Structure 1
Amino acid sequence: MSSSPSDTATPAKGFRIPKVPFWAQILAGLVLGVVLGWVANTWDVAWLGTALTKIGEIFVQLLKLAVAPLVFFAITISITNLRNVHNAARLATRTLLWFMATSLIAVALGLLIGLVTNPGSGTGLSAKDAAEPDTQGSWLDFLTGIIPKDVITPFTELQVLQIVFMAVVVGVAALKLGEKAEPLLKLGESVLALLQKALWWIIRLAPVGTIGLIGTAIKDYGWDLIGSYATFTADIYVGCALVLFGVYPLLLGTVAKVNPLQFFKGAWPAIQLAFVSRSSVGTMPLTQKVTERLGVPKEYASFAVPFGSTTKMDGCASIYPAIAAIFVGEFFHVDMGLKEYLLIVFVSVIGSAATAGLTGATVMLTLTLSTLGLPLQGVGLLLAIDPILDMMRTATNVAGQVVIPVLVSAKEKILDREMFAHARSFSVEDADAPVGPRPAVQQEPVTTG
């Protein structure tokens, strides 16, 4: 006897395992990581500490594994995709100007917070805690380091800026070649799709990676060391929070004329992944997905997001170096005046690409300190606490990388406001599903005089 559809549907529902939201998985990973890290630190559980370290290292290594080819193909394809967008040059220019404008606001907030709180005073640290970093940055290194010596080394040594340079050259050359470059571009699009698919699998491991990364931070540094940097840590988190939940919503409400709460509802999956992964580039596929779901045309989002993932760093390149420079100056009793503060602003706005979307901001900090003439040994003071700070910095970076395309799209009248209004958070399992039908970017009618 055959059974009706209703007869077969009921048992299936009874055995269905409910999906746990991605944010809940991340939160559980954070809590469990803190607990396990505290246990490993308090009772000196060696095997637990080793396990946490290995889990965190493997997750970060998996993210880094795809960084070099992902950046190259994403930047190349994003540039060539601009041929499908009307007024592409204006879009690119406005994107860059908004990147600089928000960086200026962020560094100004960082300076204000640092001057008010004096983060380098009363830390209880001594000069023996300072050490000159292995990786340094100077303007000469920054400018000359953009151009690679060969095409292999940037990929093997993960020189992101050099990879970006080569990608830009290839992208522009492909635009000039036109139809002759189409076979290469189709291959690049296929490779990019494969890389993004692989990254989705890695992103699904983020809750497990969170346990290792947070647990290792607590295990290695403990609460005592965090207490020594209490003011500095609070400054970074407060500064990033002001930009993330103050400046960005203000710009969204006044400039883009959209609901900031709806923005966070749609962008939250990328922001939370950035917090735990500490990698703007590793978060790039998810960042682009949430940007498209917020109504930004795919053709423009595929340019703005990869571009922002390597250059738009309000947390790492604006707030952090401003407060860190004041911290180092106070620690070594170096007086700074208006000239030094203006130099901090200049470095933050112009040199943000030095961070290149990878975990940590050591190169950017050394670039700032060397420009100001401050002791580079001060970097050693801050490296100990860097993983704790980098989480909030990267979350701010990624939020800004979504905000700017929304702002520019709204000003250019190409933002799908209905799609924005219905944007919602989604599970990672559904993240790589098609965004759905939407109108293409409309070209303005051509009029003749």
Structure 2
Amino acid sequence: MIWLELLILLACILVGSRVGGVGLGTVAALGLFALVFFLGLPPSQPPVVVIGLIVSVVSAAATMQAAGGLDYLVGLADGFLRARPRLITILAPLVCYVFTLFAGSAHIVYAFLPVIAELSRKEGVRPERPISASVIAAHLAITASPVSAAVLILFAATAESGVRPGHILAILIPATLAGTLAAILSVFRKGPELADDPVFQERLKSGRIIAPEVRRLTGRDLLRARGSVALFALAALVAVVFGLFPSLRPAFPGDESDELVRLGTTQAVCLLMASVAALNSLFFGARPDAAIKGSIARAGVVAVVSILGITWLTNSFFEGNRAEILGAMERLIDAYPTAFVLALFVVSSLLLSQAASAAALVPAGLALGLPVPLLVAMFPAANGMFFLPVYSIEVSAMSFDQTGTTRIGRFVLNHSFMRPGLVGVGVSVAVGAALSAVIL
């Protein structure tokens, strides 16, 4: 039964990507309907937390666009990148890596994806290049962040071995940074230039997108635009601070005890970004009707529908077959300990979470006698969520790229994130192994 369910999952991705737009989500929802009503697969909970996060971030970015903030950013980038537009392919992933490293959550890149897409499009750079590398950079940073749940699980599991967190970070941060740089290089000249891309040209001719042009701001419009950008940047920085210093987040009594529970990072980002949207409307002239009609809001709707369908379908498939999948991975590790790297990759591609993958497999690896230095070196392999293009960040990235260059290929697996993902993870593990041999 699991193979039939997997076949339906892959068929939904293939057909949905051909339909385009919200089709990825609606076709996936149809597939989930078939699995639930005809094959008896119990559905998981819908991904309401992720959807709420995307709605709040899109609201902030859309109102910033309505206030002229995106035009202001494009104007700044136009002056800086005009002679060297390819720099955005380098700078955008590094920014996403740093912010994710300190925030401890890759979901913070939702705030950057629409900006990266618009900046690269208006600078004539193929958006697929910086977008795909930025998504992979954010994934890799999670497995090196001292405040991410995945790395904290690794710290706890290896505590009795005498390996200190500082040693682990001294391996994982350089390794994943090297992986990020390798991912950037792998896509630096990928695909035809934007002006020569047939999909982009077809969309231009059909009127699905408008040829980019830089709007020059003056006077009061310029002040409002600057204010909206400053507010957006401040919210992103505050999110990073909340990730680094949890004690700054408010705490509330738990439902079943008097023990205080901290506000989660995801909830904090939701509140911050939703507040940015309100402040942009109140103080920086962002008209709600203009925000809704903007390109970011339209792309956000596509992202929400797509994530509702495809993420719900994927989560339901894994949760319904969790015991069988994890059991197979544990048997593989028992027979071939070095296959732990493959097990981490496969489980994370299905579970769509570095932390959940670490919690499921790291204790098993240690129990089976896997050396701690080898386990630490292999840890970046828990970034397989790009393999099937169903993770919320990948789906959002494709939705925000109006040019159609960031997309799923004809055979599902030949999508925009495959090359930088495999290169980034492979280099991270290789560099991690070299550093682990020296440090541990």
Tell me which interval the TM-score lies in, with the shorter structure as reference length: 0.3 to 0.5
- TM normalised by structure 1 equals 0.36
TM-score normalised by length of structure 2: 0.36
Larger of the two Rg values belongs to structure: 1
